[in-house]
Amino acid sequence: MQAKQSGTLVSGLAVLLAFQAAGAMLQLALHLQVPGSVLGFFLLWAALATGWLPLAVVEEAADLLLRHLLLLFTPVVVGVLPYLPMIRDQAWLLAAAIIVGTCSTALLTGWLAQSLLNRLDARRTPHSEASGFVSSGDLQTADLQAPGTTSGQHSLGRKPDAQQHTAKPEPAESGDGA
Amino acid sequence: MSSPIAQFTNNPLFGIAITVVIYTLAATLHAKLRTQLLNPLVVTAVAVMLILTTLQIPVTHYRLGGDMITFWLGPATVALAVPLHRQVQAWWRYMPALTLATLLGTVAGLSGAPLVALAWHTNRNLVLALVPRSVTTPIAIELARTLGAVPEITAAFVIVTGVLGHICGPRLLTLAGVHHPVARGLAVGVAAHGIGTARMLTESEQAGAASGMGMSLAGLLTALIIGGYATCFLVR
């Protein structure tokens, strides 16, 4: 993986830490029960989805941390050691409870998600695909066409407002909507 | 004053070195043998626990370095937004369905284990500690405090849940006929939070991203449900 033009490992880590800090401040300010890192996750997702932050800035650092996520969890697992005697008395019962709870959650979520996803895919037609996001898609199409239609004028007399139009970054999915 | 071993271990270097070295060995072994029985997380944790127990090294010494590794779980949680962003453009139309599946799975997770424990007349403290067990550790610890449970016991249950989902989750879903990568990832993320997500990231980026989203959605929904319950029914 080559160092990218707009992002390095350190700048990526800085961005991740900054978003975590922003999430922590949000948690404190709003007295939320959700930890700062989870709020930071949603903030970073929003920043990437809106195009405010280019993916290349965080990509390398994020991929590094996620590739070694198991390593990061190891000390947490070791931290259970002091509590083993406390749990041992009812270990089998607790194991049964946790197995039932975990398996039922995984199976219910998995089955439900798969059947809903398959149903949505089966219903997929050109007509229904456009529904829901048709307005934003049309807007983007119009927006993209604007510089094209004015291209004649563009070559004759440079229109500053037309240039602003083209400079505005648009989400990549505009092609899907059209 | 203290023994040479204690002098060496009472230093962040010990915890970091032992974890990273054993993890690297375990990951190499795992890559060569390709069996989930030698899961690197479980192998490393058990090996470190055995070393600490047999050499009688206090866990507080290990945590000096261990906590420095754990710290990076925070930025790693934020980093889950990257695979999610890469995948999610294809998912917008599925979001209501995925949220519904997450909600029902979360409710099953919140009620399932405590109900089993209650049926056996378990100690009330343990039942309460079981409730927030399927969400990521920081959320679970906060919620355990909200419920009046012992946070450390909840943390232990969170880890056991995560390791269980990490090892058995994908196989269980395959047996149950769940093959859609997004459904598989979501299910393991909702049931087994970040430790499950770490496994799904090795299955495919799509499954890993779905797992990260399942974990975050489940964390948020669980916090909303327990926080709402506590606000309405528990007098502080």
- Displacement of CA A88 from its chain's centroid (Å): 40
- pLDDT, residue B219, reads 83
Of the listed ranges A33-37, A41-45, A134-138, B92-96, the least confidently predicted one is A134-138
Of A47, A73, A64, give the one whose Cα is nearest residue A12: A64
- Dihedral over alpha carbons A39, A40, A41, A46 (to 10 degrees): 90
Q: Could B52 and A78 be called an inter-chain contact, meaning their C-beta atoms sit closer than 8 Å? A: yes
Size of interface A-B (CB pairs under 8 A): 321
The reply to whether A122 touches chain B by the CB within 8 Å rule is no
ipTM exceeding 0.85, yes/no: no
Residue of higher predicted confidence among B188 and A1? B188
- pLDDT, residue A19, reads 96
Over residues B99-119, the pLDDT tens digits come to: 999 999 999 888 887 777 777
Of the listed ranges A116-120, A160-164, B90-94, B176-180, the least confidently predicted one is A160-164
Distance from CA of B225 to the nearest CA of A (A): 11
Contacts of A17 in chain B (CB under 8 A): 75
Contacts of B82 in chain A (CB under 8 A): 44, 48, 55, 58-59, 62-63, 66
Task: Give the chain A residue whose CA is nearest to the CA of B230.
Answer: A33
Over residues A30-64, the pLDDT tens digits come to: 877 677 888 898 899 899 989 999 999 999 999 99
Task: Give the chain B residue whose CA is nearest to the CA of A40.
Answer: B78
* B116, B163, B223: residue with CB nearest A34: B223
Contacts of A106 in chain B (CB under 8 A): 105, 165, 169, 172-173, 187-188, 190-192
Over residues B17-38, the pLDDT tens digits come to: 999 999 999 999 988 887 766 7
Per-residue pLDDT for A135 more than 50?
no
The reply to whether A49 touches chain B by the CB within 8 Å rule is yes
Distance from CA of A61 to the nearest CA of B (A): 8
Helices (H), chain B: 4-9, 12-33, 40-54, 59-71, 73-79, 81-88, 95-119, 124-130, 137-147, 151-175, 181-203, 205-233
Residues 6+ apart with CB under 8 A from A90: B122, B123, B126
